[in-house]
Structure 1
Amino acid sequence: MVIVEFSARDAATLARWWAKALGRPVEATTVRPAGPGLVLRFTEPAAPKERKNGVHLDLRSESHHDQQKTVERLFNAGAGFADIGQTEAVPWVVMTDIEGNEFCVLEPRETYQDTGPLAAVVTDCADPQEQARWWSSRTGQPIADDTPEFAGVHLRTGPFLEFQRSATGPAGRVRLLIEPAR
């Protein structure tokens, strides 16, 4: 099972916020999908936020109207807007959750039509192809995209794991993990 782990000042509150944002149930500090998929886990204490997180979530939209409604709903629930260097020409909206973790609300994209509310988990890394190969071997899922700047793995029952080239790497308060077999 793939886990996205958030370091939080208040793990229970942040877990409830993300559960409501994604329409999923929450158990204490863990948000699990109704069926197969990835888990969001929230732990304390939070590491200090020093820069943009190297891992972020991309939320899916059904239509441009749905994207607008999702942004409005999350803003009304306490999300903020973030400037991480994107231009005004990008079709997605960069936001922050109630503890300042960045995420994007994407415009409708056919690629993500079967992912559920969570389209992708995006990780900054030095070598996207190497990361995609590693995650593909651990999850048993095929590599979906493979370029020197960007590579991805589509989880059969959930979002894409996407890796984008970055000199800064995946440091921050959010990380991508694989749950050990029990």
Structure 2
Amino acid sequence: MKLCEARECAYFRRMASVVVEFSAREPERLARWWADVLGWRLDTGSGFVVQPTGPGVPLRFVASGRAKSGKNGVHLDLRSETHDDQNRIVERLFNAGARFADIDQSSEVPWVVMADLEGNELCVLEPRKVYANTGPVAAVVVDTPDPRSDARTMAAATGMELAGERTEFASLHPVSGEGPFLEFLENDDGPEGMLRVLVE
């Protein structure tokens, strides 16, 4: 994505929004699963889109014959309010068919890494005050070789505000103060895999 012209940026700030798209072998089944675990609404009017019922970001599910190979370069972080709530979310996901995942994370990290029905990684975070107003999805996390550059580009395209920045990490947040963060983590592999972030 190239940086927009000043005139175009003003339009994007009013109109553009972020959508997370999942490529799936069974898009309807996976969409229904995510709608159930997040408590959101499944819209089947034009494909399979899980729509937030409060703060959030739409999740679109499209059919793909491509098999997942390796770790996704985009994943969702789920918010918890307390440590007991984190445990309840993990238990609910597991009972719904999610499984624990190993992405070489340390055994000391306070979040729990899981995978959905088609193996897409997600994290159930420990409680963090910064995510108090995000809704159930705390952040959409994107691997990229250049976090700061990609964050600035996405900020220009969407009107989101820079919430934090350092060499290996940058994050954006909606101007309203509600909804998930968009976070960029330094990783040479980039955002390859079964999920992608779109601006529409």
Q: TM-score, normalised by structure 2?
A: 0.87
Quick check: 1:22 aligned with 2:43? no
Change (3 A) 1:50 1:148: same
In the alignment, the residues of structure 2 paired with residue 172 and residue 66 of structure 1 have an alpha-carbon distance, to the nearest angstrom, of 29
Counting only pairs closer than 5 Å after superposition, residues 62-81 of structure 1 correspond to structure 2 as 62-81=81-100
SS in 1 for 2:28: helix
Aligned residue type for 1:30:
V
RMSD over aligned Cα, in angstroms? Answer: 1.0
Residue by residue, what CA displacement relative to the aligned partner does 1:95-119 show, whole Å, maximum 9, x if unpaired? 0000100000000001101100000
In the alignment, the residues of structure 2 paired with residue 148 and residue 128 of structure 1 have an alpha-carbon distance, to the nearest angstrom, of 8
The number of equivalent residue pairs is: 179
Aligned residue type for 1:141:
M
Task: Report % sequence identity.
Answer: 56
Aligned residue type for 1:24:
W
Residue by residue, what CA displacement relative to the aligned partner does 1:104-136 show, whole Å, maximum 9, x if unpaired? 000000110110000000000010001110111
TM-superposed deviation, 1:35: 4.7
1:163 match: 184
In the alignment, the residues of structure 2 paired with residue 100 and residue 46 of structure 1 have an alpha-carbon distance, to the nearest angstrom, of 15
Gaps of 5+ in 1: none
In the alignment, the residues of structure 1 paired with residue 65 and residue 50 of structure 2 have an alpha-carbon distance, to the nearest angstrom, of 18
TM-superposed deviation, 1:38: 1.5
Aligned residue type for 2:26:
D
2:198 match: 177
SS in 2 for 1:83: coil
In the alignment, the residues of structure 2 paired with residue 35 and residue 81 of structure 1 have an alpha-carbon distance, to the nearest angstrom, of 27
In the alignment, the residues of structure 2 paired with residue 47 and residue 153 of structure 1 have an alpha-carbon distance, to the nearest angstrom, of 30
* Off by >4 Å, runs of 4+ in structure 1: none
In the alignment, the residues of structure 2 paired with residue 165 and residue 148 of structure 1 have an alpha-carbon distance, to the nearest angstrom, of 8
In the alignment, the residues of structure 1 paired with residue 35 and residue 56 of structure 2 have an alpha-carbon distance, to the nearest angstrom, of 14
2:168 match: 149
In the alignment, the residues of structure 2 paired with residue 149 and residue 139 of structure 1 have an alpha-carbon distance, to the nearest angstrom, of 22
In the alignment, the residues of structure 1 paired with residue 75 and residue 192 of structure 2 have an alpha-carbon distance, to the nearest angstrom, of 11
Mapped contact 2:56–2:135 kept (Cα < 8 A) = no
TM-superposed deviation, 1:34: 2.3
